Amino acid sequence: MPQDSPLTHLRAHPPGSPPGRAAEHSPRPLTETAAEDLVRGICFKTGPPRLLGAELEWLLLDAEDPARPLPPERLTAAHDAAAALPLRSRFTVEPGGQLELSSPPATSLMGCVGDLQADLDAVRAALGAQGVVLDGLGHDLRRPLRRLLDSPRYRAMETYFDRTGPAGRAMMRASASVQVCVDAGHEEPGPLGHGRRWRSAHLLGAVLVSAFANSPAHSGPYAGWRCSRQGVWSDLDTARALAPPLDADPRGAWVRHALDTAVMCVRPQDPTGRDGAADPGEAVAAWEVPRDLSFRAWARGAGTRPPTAADLDYHLTTLFPPIRPRGHLELRMIDAQPGADGWLVPVAVVHALFDDPEAAETAYRVAKGLADSYGPGPAPRNPLWRSAARYGPRDPELRAAARACFRAATEALPRLGADTRVRDAVGEFTERFVRRGRCPADEVDGFDDARSRSAAPPRSSCRAPVRTPVRKEERP
C-alpha cells in the first residue's frame, strides 16, 4: 500500500523539475477553493498515452510448509534480503509482510515486463536461499492476521478502519494484487480520450475482477466467492474504497469525491512545515484519527488545525477506489496471479485494451454493453461488480465480455511488440480459463464452487473469509 505508483513521479515531476511531492509545498493553510483546484489540476494529466507501469504484490510462504504463517523474524529477514538487492523496481513491504515491486515508468510493454522480470528473478533467488517463496494469491486466509509493520501511518490506518469492522485489517494484512497503471489519455474525445478511458475502466474493471479472480473463500461471510478480496475492499468504510458517480464529468466527480471523503488521519508538523510523522518512532497519539471529518469540512475550518497542500496530498494517498486517478489511471482491482508468469497476463491485457487503438475500440463497445448491469451505484458495490467478485466467469454477461476482450488483446499484442513469452502466457490463460468460463480461483485446491456453477443467481452482499487455499501443482 505504498503512497506512490509507477507513473506518479514522472507525471508529477517532469524531467528537469525538482524532486519531491506536494508534501514539500508551503505549510500555509489551504482553502476549500484551493484544494478543489489542486485536485482538479493533478487528477488527470492528459496527453498521448505512452507510459505503462505495474505493481506486483506477493504473499510470502514457507517453502516447506506453505500453510504455516512465517514468524516475524523470518519475514523481516526475507524483506532485508530483497531490499539489499540492486533492483530497478521500487521495493516496499505491506503491513502484513506482503512484498511489493513497483516498476519504473516504461514506454513499452516489454520494457515494463523486462524490468519486473529481472527484479523478480533476483528476489526469488534471494528468498529461496532462506526457504521462502513468493505466492500469487489475492487473499491470504491464514489466521491469525498479524501486522508486521509498526509505523504511525499503519497504526492510524488500523485505528480508523477498526471503527467499521474487520475488513480494514484483512485488507492491510492479507491482500495481494496486480495493479496496472496507464496514462489518462487525450483531453479530446475518442478511443484514447481520458473521458472514455475513465468510463471504460470502471465498466471493464468488473470483467478484470471476474477473469482474474484468485481469492476464493471456503467458508465464512464470503463463502463461495471467487474474489473475496473485492468483498473486503468494498466493506472498508462508507466511501473510501468506492468509485465516484460514473456519469458525471470525471474531474468534477473525483474532486467532489476526494474532498467529501473522511480524513483518515491528521499528521503532526514541525514549525518548518516538514512532515513530523515521518519518524517511525512517533507515538500513535501524535497522529490524530478524527471522526467524520471530511477534507472539505477541514478546509472550511473544522479540525484542530488548518490543512495544507501536504495534507491534501497525503489524503489522496488514503483513498482506495478501484480506479484511482493519480495523473494517470491506477487499476487496483486485479487479484495477485498464480505461477511464475501469471502476473504477465493482466499487465499485457490491460495495456492492450487501453493503449492499442483497435483493441481500445473493441473494449469500449464491450464496456457500453455492461452499463445497464453496472447501474447507478458505485463500484465495487454495484450489481455488476458484486457478481464479478462472487461468481466470476459463471456470470454469462461477464464471461462473454471477457472472451471478447481477451480476443482483442491477443490480436493487439503483436502490434504492441509483445514477445513470444508474453503472447504465450496470454494465450495459455485464455485457453485454460477464459474460453472455458473459469478463473484461477476455480483451480485452488479445496475450493467448492458447486453452489455457483450455473448462471449467477440474484446478487447479494458480502463480508470476510478463513482458510489458506493452495494449488496442488504449486506446492513446493
First to last CA, the chain: 28
Coil, helix or strand at residue 106: strand
Alpha-carbon gap, residue 9 to 15, rounded angstroms? 10
**Which of 148-157, 226-235, 291-300, 317-326 has the least mean pLDDT?**
148-157
pLDDT value of position 206: 98
pLDDT value of position 7: 63
189 — pLDDT class (breaks 50, 70, 90): confident
Are the CB atoms for 55 and 105 separated by under 8 Å?
no
Looking at residue 280, what DSSP letter applies?
A: T
Mean pLDDT of the chain: 87
Residue 468 has pLDDT above 50, yes or no: no
DSSP per residue over 361-382, as a string?
HHHHHHHHTTHHHH-SSPTTTS
State residue 120 phi and psi, 5-degree precision.
-60, -40
Alpha-carbon gap, residue 334 to 321, rounded angstroms? 13
**Which of 3-17, 103-117, 206-220 has the least mean pLDDT?**
3-17
Are the CB atoms for 316 and 39 separated by under 8 Å?
yes
pLDDT value of position 142: 80
State residue 163 phi and psi, 5-degree precision.
-70, -20
Task: Please state the rounded mean pLDDT for residues 89-109.
Answer: 96
Q: What are the helix (H) ranges across 56-100?
A: 72-83
Residue 250 has pLDDT above 80, yes or no: yes
pLDDT value of position 191: 82
Helix, strand, coil: what percent of the chain each, to 5?
45, 10, 45
State residue 135 phi and psi, 5-degree precision.
-130, 125
Burial of 460 (0-12, 13-18, 19+ CB in 10 A): exposed
Task: Please state the rounded mean pLDDT for residues 325-351.
Answer: 97
pLDDT value of position 15: 31
Task: Please state the rounded mean pLDDT for residues 1-13.
Answer: 51
**Owner of C-alpha cell 488545525:** 305
Alpha-carbon gap, residue 230 to 335, rounded angstroms? 9
One-letter-per-residue 3-state SS of 174-218: HECEEEEEECCCECCCCCCEHHHHHHHHHHHHHHHHHHCCCECCC
Alpha-carbon gap, residue 306 to 74, rounded angstroms? 43
DSSP per residue over 154-175, as a string?
HHHHHHHHHTT-THHHHHHHHB
pLDDT value of position 3: 57
Residue 449 has pLDDT above 60, yes or no: no
CA-CA-CA-CA torsion sign (171, 175, 176, 180): negative
Q: Which residues contact 123 (CB under 8 A, 6 or more apart)?
A: 82, 85, 87, 91, 99, 101, 134
Task: Please state the rounded mean pLDDT for residues 383-397.
Answer: 98
